[in-house]
Each structure stands twice: as C-alpha cells, then as structure tokens.
C-alpha cells in the first residue's frame, strides 16, 4: 500500500458511547482508519471486532483537558464529536463537557486542518431554559465561528438497544406499579434510530453533506410522551397505571433525586425543563432538505426496532407475550 491510497484517519470522540459505537461501525464498513478517543480506552476494546486488524485504535482523551484533545486529533483528516452527557456529575458538567469541551475539539480540528462533524441535539439553543440545551446551543455557536464548514447534526430522542429513554421506562415497569406522565404527557418527540444517525455522520465524513450546515434528524413517527409510555407497556406486556405528574412536582422530585450520591438519577429538574418543549424536526429543515428524508434515508420504524430489545422487560422475556 502506498501513501497515496492509505485510508483517511477519523478521530471519534466518545466512540464507545451509545451513538459513537454505531458511528465507528459505519466508518469501519467504509474502510476508514479510526482513532477512538475516550476517557477509558480499556473499556472501549469491544469495538475492535468491528474493523480489520489495526483499523481501529484507541487513545485516552478527556474533553476537560486540552492537551489530550490535541493529541487525539493530531494527524486526523476528520474529527467526529459524539460526546454528550444527560445529567451533571461532579466535574462533568454541561458547561465543561458540552460547551467548553466541544469548543476545544473544534479548535484542535482547525489547528490540525481536519474536517469536523459535531453531534448536538434538537432543541439546542443559547436562550433555552434547560442548561443541557443551552450548553448545546452555545457549543454550536462557538463551533460555527471556529470551523465555519463544520457539519452539525441535531437528533431527536435516539432509540436503540443501549438507549437511555425507552430502556429507562422498560426497567421502571419491572418494579413500579405506575409510570409518571410528566406535564400531562403532551410533549411531542420524533424518535430516531441510532443506526440512521450514524449513517448521516458517516456520510458527513465522506463529504456527502453540505458543509457548514445543521441537519435535524427525526424518525418516521411523532409521538407524545404519553404515547411513548403506552408503546413501552404494549411491547413489554406490562399493565401499569399512567399517573400524571405536574411539571412543578416533577422538577422537585428531579432536584431531590439529583442529590443522591453515586446513583444515576431517574430524572433531573433540568430534564423536566426539556420536557416542556416539543422535540421534533422543524418545518424549515424539512423544506430545505436538512433531514433524513432530504438525504434519501428511509428512517427505521420505531415499532419494528423497539421489540428487539424491550422484549427483555416482558414477564418471561422473549417467551412472554406483548399486551
């Protein structure tokens, strides 16, 4: 193999996470060399079988430390930032990881002359009431200044075997006689399959997406929060009461739950703020083709994928019956 035909190198921050592992797989299938940049490389070795020998390598990096970011980006042709957190934990706060960390990744990519694809979220905005969405919005603004041709993807709630949304309520249905319907359950979501999100990112790396553009990714169906819970119960065959919980009470519960040390909170007050706003693809993005449909990607159907992993929450597992 000559230098001229060596495959491009892509650094994937957060490559062992929920979205990142699917991105690594999509890139490996396309033949790219992949450098997985994570805090614990020893916990990311499960990714190696996704590629050929030597195709996937690992490097320790932490988005709170600039030097580790620069090392991980050095020599890369493209950088993908999949890092995100759902709640704050000690030093791993929204500002440190999702804003400052994302900014340092963009600066490192620019210094290395690498292209950049950044994973944000629908609802991101500098003026959002939610700290999570606000940090995502500030990161987007910084990235567009530092790397104007960066591609930004904004997915709605992402579903897949390792998701933290449908799995959360599936687990809850195992032990709780009720599921909380926060704010009346009228908030709308457009769940998108993790494999579809990874496909868009892989196409961005290939140069098939428009530079300097924000893409909004939503699935086929728009469901209310209540409908999402009803779907979980239908698939798992569990009969649980859906109890309405006002935003104020949910926020209070989330605040208390966040104070319990060494325990992942089932809900935070900041997540309650997110639930006050619909999480769907905008009409503007649809008109401009900045969606899955606009890219010619047929979104995976929610009801076809959910049973493949929510089956574990049925009374007798795969041998149990849906409602």
What is the domain extent for residue 68? 3-149
Q: Return d(Cα 187, Cα 277) in angstroms, integer.
A: 6
Q: Which is higher by pLDDT, 316 or 273?
A: 273
Per-residue model confidence as pLDDT tens digits over 110-150: 999 999 999 999 999 999 999 999 999 999 999 999 999 99
| pLDDT at residue 81 tops 60 | yes
pLDDT at 188: 97
The count of domains in the chain is: 1
Q: How many Å is the Cα radius of gyration of the chain?
A: 20
Q: Does some domain include residue 84?
A: yes
Q: Round to whole Å and give the CA distance between 238 and 173.
A: 7
Contact 102, 144 (CB under 8 A): no
What's the pLDDT band for 16 if we cut at 50, 70, 90? very high
pLDDT at 323 over 60: no
Domain assignment present for residue 8? The answer is yes
290 inside domain: no
Q: Where are the alpha helices (DSSP H) in the chain?
A: 18-29, 66-73, 94, 101-112, 131-146, 166-175, 194-206, 225-236, 247-257, 269-274, 283-288, 302-310
pLDDT at 50 over 80: yes
Q: What is the pLDDT of residues 156-197, one digit of tens each?
A: 999 999 999 999 999 999 999 999 999 999 999 999 999 999
pLDDT, position 88: 83
> Max alpha carbon distance in the chain (Å)?
64
The answer to whether position 97 is within a domain reads yes
Examine residue 91 and state whether it is found in any structural domain, yes or no: yes
Give yes or no for a contact between 190 and 280, defined as CB atoms under 8 angstroms apart: yes
The Cα 10–Cα 149 span in angstroms is 17
Q: Tell me, yes or no, whether 49 lies in a domain.
A: yes
Task: Provide, rounded to the nearest whole percent, the portion of the chain with pLDDT above 70.
Answer: 94
The token pair that represents 256 in the structure block: 């208390």
140: CATH: 3.40.50.720
Q: Give the three-class secondary structure for 64.
A: coil
- Is residue 269 one of the residues assigned to a domain? no
Beta pairing, strands 223-224 & 158-159: unpaired
């Amino acid at each position: 193999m000559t230098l001229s035909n060596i495959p491009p190198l892509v650094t994937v921050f957060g490559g062992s996470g929920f979205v990142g592992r699917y991105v690594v797989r999509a890139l490996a299938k396309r033949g790219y060399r992949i450098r997985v940049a994570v805090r614990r490389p020893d916990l990311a070795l499960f990714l190696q079988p996704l590629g050929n020998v030597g195709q996937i390598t690992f490097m320790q990096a932490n988005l709170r430390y600039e030097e580790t970011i620069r090392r991980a980006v050095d020599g890369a042709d493209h950088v993908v930032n999949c890092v995100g957190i759902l709640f704050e934990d000690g030093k791993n706060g929204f500002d440190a990881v999702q804003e400052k960390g994302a900014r340092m990744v963009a600066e490192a990519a620019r210094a290395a002359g690498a292209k950049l694809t950044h994973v944000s979220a629908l609802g991101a905005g500098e003026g959002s009431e939610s700290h999570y969405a606000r940090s995502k919005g500030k990161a987007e603004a910084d990235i567009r200044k530092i790397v104007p041709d960066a591609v930004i993807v904004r997915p709605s709630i992402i579903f897949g075997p390792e998701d933290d949304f449908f799995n959360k309520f599936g687990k809850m249905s195992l032990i709780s006689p009720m599921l909380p319907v926060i704010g009346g359950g009228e908030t709308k979501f457009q769940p998108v399959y993790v494999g579809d999100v990874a496909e868009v990112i892989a196409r961005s790396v290939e140069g098939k997406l428009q530079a300097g553009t924000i893409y909004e990714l939503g699935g086929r169906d728009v469901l209310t929060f209540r409908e999402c819970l009803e779907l979980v119960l239908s698939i798992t065959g569990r009969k649980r009461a859906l109890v309405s919980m006002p935003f104020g009470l949910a926020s209070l519960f989330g605040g208390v739950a966040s104070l319990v040390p060494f325990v992942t909170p089932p809900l935070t007050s900041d997540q309650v703020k997110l639930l006050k706003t619909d999480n769907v693809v905008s009409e503007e993005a649809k008109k401009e083709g900045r969606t899955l449909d606009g890219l010619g990607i047929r979104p995976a159907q929610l009801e076809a994928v959910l049973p493949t992993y929510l089956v574990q929450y049925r009374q007798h597992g795969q041998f149990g019956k849906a409602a």
